[in-house]
Amino acid sequence: MKNIPSAIDLESLPGPARGKWPAGYFRDDVVWSPTKEFFALAYSIAEVSMCNDVGCLLWGAHRNAKAEILHNPQQLRVSCWRVPFCKWIDESTFVVKAQRIGPKGARTPAIAIQVHRGFEIVPNSSSANDWIDEITKVPGEFTGFDETALLNQIDEI
């Protein structure tokens, strides 16, 4: 729980019950933006299958010495196979590898999140072998924070 803002109460966040079966062990990972104004937090990260760590996601801002959650999607899960689990590509945009089991099977596209403008699926990033390391910019066609629309787009990949 290194560097997680103290105002974030992990026990009260939505997601799997922490410390309960079937995933009795959880970890959390926070990645700060370059100036440390914003943060992305993967929480309740658990191994859901061999070497496949998945967690819940939220992002927030650190202002006036206090953390504020900006968005906490309820159904979006992120791959946490590597540390750090996300990459900031500028002060207010970060990239994560989403993970969704849908009608067509598992989907793992990279998702760019601009903390004020919304989600965007990064083109040609849905292979499990495509990681976020090489992503340095995104088209910038953010679609707002409609989580259902994002999940539907992921299902169509």
DSSP symbol at 85: S
Q: What is the extent of the structural domain holding 128?
A: 10-155
pLDDT value of position 2: 58
Query: Which residues fall within 8 angstroms of residue 5, CB to CB, at 6 or more apart?
Result: 30, 39, 60, 62, 67
pLDDT digits (tens, 9 = 90+) for 7-16: 888 888 887 7
Mean pLDDT along residues 57-72: 91
Write the CA distances from 150 to 24, 75, 90, 134, 143, integer angstroms.
29, 10, 22, 22, 8
| 4 domain-assigned | no
Mean pLDDT along residues 70-89: 92
pLDDT value of position 81: 85
| 85 domain-assigned | yes
Mean pLDDT along residues 124-139: 87
| 1 domain-assigned | no
| 119 domain-assigned | yes
| 5 domain-assigned | no
Q: What are the strands, taking DSSP E only, across 4-103?
A: 27-32, 38-49, 52-63, 66-71, 77-79, 86-90, 93-102
Q: Is the whole-model pTM more than 0.95?
A: no
Write the CA distances from 115 to 34, 92, 94, 105, 127, integer angstroms.
14, 6, 8, 29, 25
pLDDT value of position 9: 85
pLDDT value of position 23: 59
Proportion of the chain above pLDDT 90, given as a percent: 51
pLDDT value of position 1: 40
| 120 domain-assigned | yes
Number of structural domains (the chain) is 1
Residue keyed to tokens 């689990």: 85
CA atoms of 12 and 38, how far apart (whole Å)? 21
Q: In this structure, are residues 33 and 5 in contact, taking their beta carbons and an 8 Å threshold? A: no
- Does 16 sit behind a cis peptide bond, omega within 30 degrees of 0 on the bond before it? no
| 80 domain-assigned | yes
| 2 domain-assigned | no
